Amino acid sequence: MTKPTGPSRRTFLKTTAAATLAAPTIVSPSIFAKGDTPAPSDRVVVGSIGVGDLGRRHHLNNKLLVNPRIQVAAVCDVDRNHRDLAANDVLTKSGKMPGVYKDFRDLCDRKDIDAVFVVTPDHWHALVSIYAMETGKDVYCEKPLTLNIEEGKKMVEVARRYGAVFQTGSQQRSEGPFRQAVELIRNGKIGKVQRVDTYIGNIDAGKWQAPITPPPELDWNFWLGPAPYADYFPNRCHYQFRWFSDYSGGKMTDWGAHHNDITQWALEKDQSGPVKVRCEQAQFAPDGPHDVALEFDIAYTYADGVELHCHSQGKNGIKFTGTDGWVFVSRSQKEFDAHDKALLTWQAGDNDVNLPRTETKHPHHDNFLDCIASRQRPICDVEIGHRSATVCHLGNIAIRLGRELQWDPAKEEFVGDDQANQLVGKPMRAPWHL
Amino acid sequence: MATVTELAGDLCSGDQVKTYQAQQALARLSGEIGASGKEAEKAEAAKALAAVLAGVKPAKDNRGEATVDSIKSVNSANELCRALSLLAGEAEVAVLAECLKNIDLRETARWCLARMTCQGAADALVEAYKTATGTEYRVGLINALGRKQGSNVLETLKLAAADKEPEVALAAVEALANTPDAALDAVISSVESGSSSRRAARVARARVRLGSTLLRAGDDAGAKKVFTAVAGADVDEAPKKAAAAAVGG
């Protein structure tokens, strides 16, 4: 970042934040919400790592390049077309040519970059995020945060060691309906929560393609990185990687990282997790190629007896059932429902539990920027993202092993099951390692 | 119901669907027999898989003529090793150790041994490192040893920290940083980084990681010594700040 010449807004934020460190993280509204254009010295200089569909469309174009608090200084992708198109977006919209990189380490080694957005396939999240934090960067990393539990533990360790501000891209925490539902629950409006049902969707079996030579613009070996070597075919790579267990955890982690994350938030388990998990049913593609479960029902139990049931079928959303009522929440405000109906219009008062909120057009990103200035932990800090991803990984491990498993959320290991503990982590293909 | 040997044969068939179906069947079987109390069935399945792995023909020395066979061998070994990784024990180490000597199979055998938890797996990796060639593979062996414990592992990592190949030495110090021994700071900080600022930064980060390892192990004095040294050294800004913050905190 360029050095400010006088007291800047970011300096002010850092100072005031230090004085109020114990205060709750309620940033309402964001200090930049009035459309002010910050001085260049106040802008967060970012690098965007992984600029395929999600990285380029959702983050770069819809969030970063439209945010006056951000200057995009670099883009990075192992696909030359992705990075060149992204660079063109930056040049067109900001008038400045960004640095263009294939190797994330070259981008992270730049001293003028404050923060990175990690929007790579999941099997790269941990390696890129850890390197970024170790080079002094703050990190916004897409969900699901990790490919396995061991990666998340390392990410939390490194974030704390380097004092990195880390936002997990589980943006539902910054969206109104979910906050409203969680505030209802945290304020006891449905009594004691007994059961949560998350409905996260299913996938199809996919289609085999004959292995072919990777296109010249794609460095396939780099794309695979820590994953075991595999022959290239297009359906294995961009976007579709989600349905191959070497790169992701299927729908369980893709949408579980959203709805199970909100469950953890509502149950106040952000530093913990369930203690028991079992797969009630799972269906796989009979002939492939997708090797993650297509359909599943997973049952979790928390130490206080609350049950979480994660389903692939059913209307997308979350239903919380308590002793005195229930709440259903999804991304559609129209689908927000509750019993009794009076809960639909209930608002938390000053004496109620109020959850953090950032009331801007892009609240999850702005919360990250606010926290970069204040050095507070964002609304979906690295440990929160890790613990929510863990819930999903536990589900996948239970599917894989087909037996009930006991989980110790404090030690983050399975109780009395060596084989399950082997699945907490996964070796990486040389030369990569955590 | 297909036997493990038949499934292993399907894994090596080169047919996408057959291979996939065998993967799924073996994964299910692995879960069924991986629970406590089914050790005999698990050992039997591992033995059958290892026997098929032992029969995977290595490529001929003439690489040009052997390309197709070589690729098939690699893919077969990949599949077998992955299935084996959650079942294998001491009895399968010898077959995997033999695979470490084959240039086509060594990476996937290394991966399998890295995941295994028996002492023999660590010993095989230590032994392989002594004569291994190729920077990437040697780094892979060191990374695998970073997941293991034992005095022979520690000695190998210390030896590797002085390796003339910088990537091997750096991998070794990053592995050593997970061992709670303050004396290792001298080993880590002695790694030559030459004119490479990235290498120098990796050494500094490994030292900070060692400090954190010591803290977690309860060696506050050792941790403080390491952090203080890094905070006062002419090193990359990020680890320097992290070390200073740790000392201050």
The answer, yes or no, to whether residue B69 has pLDDT greater than 60, is: no
CA A133 vs. chain centroid, Å, equals 16
- B117 contacts in A (CB within 8 Å)? 418, 422
- Interchain contact, B36 vs A229, CB within 8 Å: no
Q: Is residue A214 located within the same domain as residue A278?
A: yes
pLDDT at position A6: 35
In a domain, A431, yes or no: no
Interface-testing mutation among B19, B135, B205, with chain A (most A C-beta atoms within 10 A): B205
- Interchain contact, A419 vs B242, CB within 8 Å: no
Q: Tell me the per-residue pLDDT of B79-128, one tens digit each, with 9 for 90 and over.
A: 899 999 999 999 999 999 999 998 888 999 999 999 999 999 999 999 99
How large a percentage of chain A has pLDDT more than 70? Answer: 91
Of A126, A142, A171, which residue constitutes the final position of a domain? A171
Q: Is residue A314 located within the same domain as residue A200?
A: yes
**Which residue type, as a one-letter code, is found at position A71?**
Q
In a domain, A393, yes or no: yes
Smallest Cα distance from A294 to chain B, Å: 13
- B118 contacts in A (CB within 8 Å)? none
| B75 in Cβ contact with B104 (< 8 Å) | no
Q: Is residue A154 located within the same domain as residue A181?
A: no
Smallest Cα distance from A161 to chain B, Å: 6
Q: Is residue A221 located within the same domain as residue A348?
A: yes
Q: What residue in A sits closest to B137 (Cα-Cα)?
A: A430
pLDDT at position A2: 33
Which tokens hold the place of A278?
């079992």
CA A344 vs. chain centroid, Å, equals 28
The answer, yes or no, to whether residue A11 has pLDDT greater than 60, is: no
The answer, yes or no, to whether residue A248 has pLDDT greater than 80, is: yes
- A419 contacts in B (CB within 8 Å)? 30-31, 34-35, 86
pLDDT at position A352: 97
Which tokens hold the place of B137?
């593979």
The answer, yes or no, to whether residue A371 has pLDDT greater than 70, is: yes
Of A150, A171, A192, which residue constitutes the final position of a domain? A171
- B171 contacts in A (CB within 8 Å)? 431, 433
pLDDT at position A50: 98
- Interchain contact, B147 vs A288, CB within 8 Å: no
- B85 contacts in A (CB within 8 Å)? 422
- Domain limits for position A337: 174-355+383-422
pLDDT at position B93: 98
- The band of B76, judged by pLDDT with boundaries at 50, 70 and 90, is confident
A375: contact with B, CB 8 A cutoff = no
B140: contact with A, CB 8 A cutoff = yes
Q: Is residue A295 located within the same domain as residue A217?
A: yes
In a domain, A428, yes or no: no
- A163 contacts in B (CB within 8 Å)? 241-242, 245
Q: Is residue A143 located within the same domain as residue A247?
A: no
Q: What CATH number is given to the structural domain containing A36?
A: 3.40.50.720
- Interchain contact, A287 vs B107, CB within 8 Å: no
Q: Is residue A141 located within the same domain as residue A26?
A: yes
Q: How far is CA A378 from CA A167, A171, A241, A371, in A?
A: 6, 11, 28, 6
Contacts of residue A68, defined as CB under 8 A and 6 or more positions apart, other chains included, come to A32, A35, A36, A37, A38, A43
In a domain, A427, yes or no: no
First vs last C-alpha separation in chain A: 28
| A148 in Cβ contact with A393 (< 8 Å) | yes
Q: Tell me the per-residue pLDDT of B21-55, one tens digit each, with 9 for 90 and over.
A: 999 999 999 999 999 899 999 999 999 999 999 98
The answer, yes or no, to whether residue A365 has pLDDT greater than 80, is: yes
Q: Is residue A167 located within the same domain as residue A199?
A: no
- Interchain contact, B23 vs A291, CB within 8 Å: yes
Of A138, A171, A204, which residue constitutes the final position of a domain? A171
- Interchain contact, A416 vs B36, CB within 8 Å: yes
The ipTM value here is 0.95
Q: What are phi and psi of B76, to 5 degrees?
A: -65, -45
| Average pLDDT estimate for A401-428 | 97
- A291 contacts in B (CB within 8 Å)? 20, 23-24
DSSP A145-182: --SSHHHHHHHHHHHHHHT--EEES-GGGGSHHHHHHH
- A208 contacts in B (CB within 8 Å)? 16-17
| A53 in Cβ contact with A79 (< 8 Å) | no
pLDDT at position A45: 98
**What residues 40-69 of chain B have any CB closer than 8 A to a CB of chain A?**
none
Q: Tell me the per-residue pLDDT of B140-195, one tens digit each, with 9 for 90 and over.
A: 999 999 999 999 999 999 999 999 999 999 999 999 999 999 999 999 999 977 77
Q: DSSP character for A282?
A: E
Contacts of residue A134, defined as CB under 8 A and 6 or more positions apart, other chains included, come to A158, A162, B201, B205, B238, B239
The answer, yes or no, to whether residue A120 has pLDDT greater than 70, is: yes
- The band of B71, judged by pLDDT with boundaries at 50, 70 and 90, is low
Average pLDDT score, chain A: 92
- Interchain contact, B115 vs A432, CB within 8 Å: no
In a domain, A220, yes or no: yes
Taking each helix axis from N to C terminus, what angle separates B119-131 and B90-99, rounded to the nearest 10 degrees? 20
| A75 in Cβ contact with A86 (< 8 Å) | yes
Provide the strand spans (E) within A50-120: 70-76, 99-101, 115-118
Number of domains in chain A: 2
In terms of phi and psi (left: phi > 0; alpha: psi -120 to 50; beta: otherwise), the region of A218 is beta
Smallest Cα distance from A24 to chain B, Å: 22
Report d(CA B161, CA A301) in Å as an integer. Answer: 46
- Interchain contact, B143 vs A427, CB within 8 Å: yes
**What residues 168-207 of chain B have any CB closer than 8 A to a CB of chain A?**
171, 174-175, 197-198, 201, 205
Interface-testing mutation among A137, A419, A424, with chain B (most B C-beta atoms within 10 A): A419
**Which residue type, as a one-letter code, is found at position B87?**
L
CA A83 vs. chain centroid, Å, equals 22
Contacts of residue A341, defined as CB under 8 A and 6 or more positions apart, other chains included, come to none
Q: Is residue A47 located within the same domain as residue A145?
A: yes
Average pLDDT score, chain B: 92
Q: Is residue A126 located within the same domain as residue A194?
A: no
Q: Tell me the per-residue pLDDT of A155-207, one tens digit each, with 9 for 90 and over.
A: 999 999 999 999 999 999 999 899 999 999 999 999 999 999 999 999 999 99
- Interchain contact, A111 vs B23, CB within 8 Å: no
Element (H, E) at B11: helix B4-11
- The band of A268, judged by pLDDT with boundaries at 50, 70 and 90, is very high
Q: Please, is A155 exposed, middle or buried when counting C-beta atoms within 10 Å of its C-beta (0-12, 13-18, 19+)? A: buried
| Average pLDDT estimate for B229-249 | 94
B243: contact with A, CB 8 A cutoff = no
In a domain, A275, yes or no: yes
The answer, yes or no, to whether residue B9 has pLDDT greater than 50, is: yes
Q: What CATH number is given to the structural domain containing A404?
A: 3.30.360.10
In a domain, A262, yes or no: yes
A415: contact with B, CB 8 A cutoff = no
Report d(CA B243, CA B224) in Å as an integer. Answer: 9
pLDDT at position B72: 66
In a domain, A75, yes or no: yes
Q: Is residue A185 located within the same domain as residue A57?
A: no
Q: Is residue A314 located within the same domain as residue A408?
A: yes
How many helical (H) and strand (E) elements, i.e. helices and strands, does chain A have? 12, 15
